[in-house]
Chains A and B, each alone.
Chain A
Amino acid sequence: MTDAVKAVAASTAALLALLLLALPLVFLSAPPPGFVESFLFTAAASAAAAGGSLLPGLAVAMAARRGGAWGALGMVLYVPALVPPTSVGVLLLAAFSTPRLLCGDCPLSQFVSAWVVNQPLGVLLAMWVMALPVAYSIYDGALREERAEAFFRSLGFSGLRLLVLTAMSLREATLSAALFAWLRGFGELGVLLVFANYPYAASIYIYNAWLIYGVGPAIGASLAVVAAALAVGYAARRWLSR
């Protein structure tokens, strides 16, 4: 590593630490009530969303490698990453409003109102949509390096078993995809604000804390989230480098 690389790396990390950790400490105060519940709910929902994004992300990455029309599948998965999250929220809201438009107060539209929009299932769905491009892009990169799929298929594996074996064989990629998809879901705000703003995910909780209680409590909650994310990232890094 050259001195120039060291200097750029150190100054970048120092600047981020200054802006996101050190300077905000001046305003720090305890987060308002409900933080732990919101944090745990967000962690659980984003973990479920990340877990649920792995096999679909891998399947699309495997299919997209065949090129042609299959390659276009990959582009579809990039949509949530390309457009602003608020747009994704608006699009999801519109999609889930169609049952009411088409069939009025039918069982399907009742189900959507009762269980999806502004409900825990809606939060999970929003996080899953945002996690998919992360899982897809990480597996896409991993499959370029390795030909695990070809090996397992030639051994006679197909279908779901093929996907599971490939995911388990690409364990570094799988862990990275799970971790980054989890972080993506955990930090999501735009989609949730429009499509599923209840129960409060951590991002909405912090936004509300800032609006209602001011900067200090919002910083307290933010730094707690930073600490948790750093701990998870550090643990994953240790595991990967074993």
Chain B
Amino acid sequence: MALEVEGLEARRGRFRLYVERLVVNSVVAVVGRNGSGKTTLLDAIAGFIEARGRVVACGRDVSRLPPHKRGLAYVQSTPIDPPQRVGSFLRAVARLHGTEGLVDEVASRLGVSHLLDRWRGLSTGQKQLVNLAAALLARPCAFLMDEPTSHLDWVNKRAFNDVVKRLGVPTLYVTHDPLEALYVADMLCVMEEGRLTKCIEKPTDAASAYRAAEEFALKLFKGIL
């Protein structure tokens, strides 16, 4: 099961995106500066903007399908408010995809079981986890994540990314934080001016680099520095 993109071309105003080939088998992070085309890439793959080229998900060409038939769950940077009680919402998504039996398991896995009766007053981090739970229950071929932790504090960011790493579903993860990309992804791609200029496997020494940064952040949080 993978997400494959070939010859993807899209325009947003005068901006042009072109991706020759991208294969997402695990967690692939796309890093780049503001305006480099990261969100446009996700929008084009998800079908929210017109694009030419091929998008293959779960082995089928979904390029001509509308977004709701592509099997690509799109988690946004600003978490979406659940439209009803969390439990009712998750069950509504599960009913649509025949995953009713998984609601409790997914809620427990993502640590949102205690939120099932809640509707309002969720924190941003809780909302994002609920969004991810709903996306999981949609049994997607792949996840598209657009800076999903940009509104989360450091602790929630870490917790969210730990969940993403364990999903076992191909995930295209857009971020402009290279450290986060190192932590969450197995492959890192760089986007510049609408093109993926390079994609590299995560270097083996990246984990130690991340741990050093994490220790620094922990000290900062605890006021040791």
Contacts and interface: CB of A to CB of B under 8 A. Distances in A.
B160 interface: no
Contacts of B134: 155
Contacts of B120: 242
Nearest to A164: B83
Interface string A161-190: 010111111110000000000000000000
A158 B66 contact: yes
A154 B66 contact: no
Interface string A134-163: 000000000001111011111111100010
Report the contact-size class of chain A (Cβ under 8 Å from the partner): 20 to 34
Given A146-B80, A150-B67, A151-B76, A156 B97 contact: yes
B80 A168 contact: no
A170 B84 CA distance: 11
Contacts of A153: 48, 66-68, 74
Interface residues of B, number: 30
Contact of A168 (B72, B74, B76, B83): B83
Contacts of B93: 155-156
* Main SS class of interface, A: helix
B66 A150 contact: no
Interface in A11-26: none
A25 B138 CA distance: 61
Contact of A155 (B43, B48, B135): B135
A169 B82 contact: yes
B171 interface: no
Contacts of A157: 68, 96
B27 interface: no
Interface of B: 43, 46, 48, 66-70, 72-76, 78, 80-84, 92-93, 96-97, 120, 131, 134-135, 138, 140, 144
| 7 shortest interchain CB distances as A-B pairs | A168-B83, A154-B74, A169-B83, A153-B67, A158-B68, A151-B80, A155-B138
5 contacts: A148-B80, A150-B43, A153-B48, A155-B73, A156-B97
Given A147-B76, A156-B96, A171-B83, 17 more contacts: A150-B46, A151-B75, A152-B83, A153-B66, A154-B72, A154-B140, A155-B93, A155-B96, A155-B138, A156-B68, A156-B93, A156-B138, A157-B68, A157-B96, A168-B84, A169-B80, A242-B120
